[in-house]
Amino acid sequence: MTRLGWGILAAILLLAAGFASVTRFGTMRPEARVATAPAESGAPVVGPPLPPGALVVPVAGVTRAALRDSWGDARDGGSRGHHGIDIPAAAGTPVLAAAAGRVEKLFQSARGGTTMYVRSVDGTIVYYYAHLSGYAAGLHEGQAVRAGETIAFVGDSGDAGPGNYHLHFGMQRMAPGQRWWEGEDIDPFPILAAATPPR
């Protein structure tokens, strides 16, 4: 093998090691957890479950069996917990609408990078998509989307870290009149990972 070949092999191994260091292998949880208010221990308060299998897996080509639970994992040196699920995928992989709804906000932030908030048709849930590389052509605030429709593309924007391509997918339960950032965080893993297909 040439020096160039060894260099390419070393780069591939470093990328694989970096990806493995941010991947968590967990187990399915039987109920959906809702963070309604921080408990004294800092753990989220568990609320009533949502129907299993109610969502489309929001990354093209990813199966329910491939999902890993990262809800509650420590972030920022343990100062906060992770409120969502990270779904690794190649850069540019289509991000799909997990459910039908309306694009409420297209937003840039330091943590989430290029993000999108989609409110459900009945207004009770907001779906959060973060670390995107970009939006689908022509996508705009106020646009209706169908479950399974391509709405964006996987990226590494925000604090994901260069080359750490994944979709951060979150959900919030919304009360009437709440704006896109004001809801209660819901753990999407039990809903996404459930074997029951979406209706």
Q: Are 158 and 113 in contact (CB under 8 A)?
A: yes
Q: What is the pLDDT of residues 40-49, one digit of tens each?
A: 333 433 334 4
Q: Which residues in 165-190 are b (16+ Cβ under 10 Å) and which e?
A: bbbbbbbbbbeeebebeebbbbbbbb
**pLDDT the model gives residue 174:** 93
- Domain layout of the chain by residue ranges: 3-193
CA 21 from chain center: how many Å? 18
pLDDT of residue 175: 93
First to last CA, the chain: 53
Identify the segments of the chain with pLDDT beneath 70. 7, 10-11, 13-53, 71-82, 195-199
Confidence at residue 41, expressed as pLDDT on a 0 to 100 scale: 39
Threshold 0.75, pTM exceeds: no
Residue 197: predicted pLDDT? 42
Q: Residue 35 gets which letter from DSSP?
A: E
Supply the pLDDT for residue 121. 92
Res 68: pLDDT: 86
Say what the pLDDT of residue 123 is. Answer: 93
Contact 112/84 with Cβ under 8 angstroms? no
Q: Which residues contact 5 (CB under 8 A, 6 or more apart)?
A: none
How many CA atoms does the CB half-sphere of 140 hold within 13 Å? Answer: 2
Task: Give per-residue pLDDT as tens, 9-38.
Answer: 766 766 665 555 444 444 333 333 333 333
The class level of CATH for 3-193 reads: mainly beta
